[in-house]
A and B are shown apart, each in its own frame.
Chain A
Amino acid sequence: MLNQEPRGRTLPVLISLIVVGVLLMTIDVRSQGEGVVGAVKTGTQTLVAPLQKAASYVVNPVADMIDSISNVANLREENAALHRQLADAEASLVAVQDQLARLEYFEQLYEMESVGNEIGRTVANVIGRPDAFDSALIIDKGTSNGLVVGQPVVDTNGYAVGTVKSVTSGSAIIVPITGDRQGLTVVVEDQVGMLSSQVGTTRMRLEMLDARDPVLVGDRVNTSAQSTSFPAGVPVGLVAEAAAPLIDTLTTTVEPFVNPDSLRLVVVLAWPPDPVTITSDDVVVPEETTTTTTEATTTSTTGSGG
């Protein structure tokens, strides 16, 4: 059985393959996942996505069962907490319905019309992850549902999750903010900073270059209006360590609200609401896709951006 030793050609083959692999890595780094590399990735994902979707129908109940068994000790507490949250939510809903009725009354009274500036939302199931070390999420919605590369993704509570990295007709890959090399522009109180991922910890690093006031443990961190990847005001996390500015620089850590490992559902935001594609000649070309809003399925003009 184990009588076959590697022959003389094995080492040259190994070296050749490693050289090819390193070349591919270099090309991918330089092209930033676009061009030929991006096209090949999209093609492969398009081919495998139906298999992954089919498998997820079988796998999801199994995964749920394993999750339930592993979390059985916490289920009672979680159930009680959810009951409390439901009661709070129902009370809030009554208040909101009352306010909506008053708003509608005043709109009719003053003959006003809604401007319709709500952001389109596409709810998607997480059907998997590439492997044990890649924290990206594979979801079951793609360009046929209006998704484009760069769109922001939140969880069902509206907390920031990540951005769409690549998209096929029926699936997409989401890179969570905790694994993204690109930072996220956020705001704490009225101070703007840059949030970036750190190695080996769930906490993210927050750096403010023009800090005036200290930040305290529990301060809320939201996305900034200066962010190019998220709409303003999306909750990201809480400040985990108090810090004061050193001259005008402040560095601290932030505990994100979302743990990407536990996500089963995500919401892709069609943001910016009316993006444009900038061509090499700086000609503004609108790109047509379909956007699903929370109220109804509508078609609007969106495109790559973020």
Chain B
Amino acid sequence: MRLPKALVMATLLLFAVVVQTTLFGQVRFVAPDLVMLVVILFALTRTRAEIVLLTAFGAGLLVDLLGSSLLGLRAVVFTTVAYVALRTKDRADSGRIATALWTGFLTLFGVILLVLIGTLFGQSILLGPDVGTRLLVVPIANMTLAAIFAPLFVRLIDGDTKALRFT
């Protein structure tokens, strides 16, 4: 991973964390999971798979450190989601809608995993009153954002203006 690419990725992750914890922390009804979205879209780039996994782990750890729930919870979830994303990313290549749907399903997988592991470790703070709604709203919000921003994100990270140009 070249330094500029690492720098761009780190900046994007930090931006996602700050926007997630401020803007989407206050506007709860349209809340996506921006950090998970960045991790999923990172799997679409030409970055080495191991780097993607390590970045996902680090991103999850950062969110854990800023929150009130268990340290390592999101690190495990984001790493698993990144792995599944790496294994299935061929399915996102056929068009903007396919990319969005793929992102939505991966986010759904991620949030279900988050709630399941959180429950196993007694994290009742993750199981708030509208957990059912959020399990649907977060993937839909991520799906919408992926449809809009996925090509731009991949081009920015890879420095390739022709990436994800669907015909």
Binding site for B on A (CB under 8 A): 1-2, 4, 6-7, 9-10, 13-14, 17-18, 20-25, 27-29, 37, 40-41, 44-45, 48, 51-52, 55-56, 59-60, 62-63, 66-67, 70, 126-136, 138, 165-166, 173, 175, 178-181, 197, 199-202, 261, 264
Contacts and interface: CB of A to CB of B under 8 A. Distances in A.
A37 B44 CA distance: 33
B121 A25 contact: yes
Contacts of B127: 199-200
Contact of B46 (A4, A133, A179): A4
B67 A51 contact: no
B108 interface: no
Contact of B125 (A24, A37, A179, A264): A179
Contacts of B74: 131
14 contacts: A4-B48, A10-B50, A17-B75, A28-B72, A29-B121, A59-B22, A59-B26, A62-B23, A129-B28, A130-B68, A132-B134, A134-B69, A181-B124, A200-B127
A52 B48 CA distance: 31
B65 A40 contact: yes
Contacts of B134: 132-133
Contacts of B80: 14, 18
B9 interface: no
A28 B125 contact: no
Contacts of A21: 57, 60, 72-73, 75-76, 79
Interface of B: 14, 17-33, 35, 44, 46, 48-50, 53-54, 57, 60-63, 65-76, 79-80, 83, 86-87, 89-90, 92-93, 111, 114-115, 118, 121-122, 124-129, 131-132, 134, 137-138, 154, 158, 160, 163-164
A15 to B, nearest CB: 10
A22 B80 CA distance: 12
B66 A130 contact: yes
Given A67-B27, A128-B25, 8 more contacts: A1-B164, A2-B93, A6-B49, A7-B50, A59-B26, A63-B26, A133-B128, A200-B127
Given A25-B121, A29-B121, A135 B23 contact: no
A129 B50 contact: no
B124 A132 contact: no
A135 B25 CA distance: 9
Given A14-B79, A133-B131, A136-B125, A22 B72 contact: yes
Contact of B18 (A17, A51, A132, A173): A51
Nearest to B164: A1
Residue from the set B29, B72, B80, B138 with the largest chain A CB neighbour count within 10 Å: B72
B33 A132 contact: yes
Contact of B154 (A1, A29, A130): A1
B126 A133 contact: yes
Contacts of B32: 132
A256 to B, nearest CB: 10
Nearest to B125: A179
A2 B52 CA distance: 14
Contacts of A1: 44, 46, 93, 154, 158, 160, 163-164
Contacts of A4: 46, 48-49
A131 B19 CA distance: 10
Contacts of A27: 71
B90 to A, nearest CB: 6
B26 A60 contact: yes
B65 A41 contact: yes
Nearest to B68: A136
A134 B35 contact: no
A150 B127 CA distance: 22
Contact of A178 (B19, B71, B129, B132): B129
Contact of A55 (B22, B53, B54, B129): B22
Contact of A131 (B33, B70, B164): B33
A9 B54 CA distance: 12
A1 B163 CA distance: 6
A181 B72 contact: no
B68 A173 contact: yes
Contacts of A264: 26
A44 B131 contact: no
A10 B35 contact: no
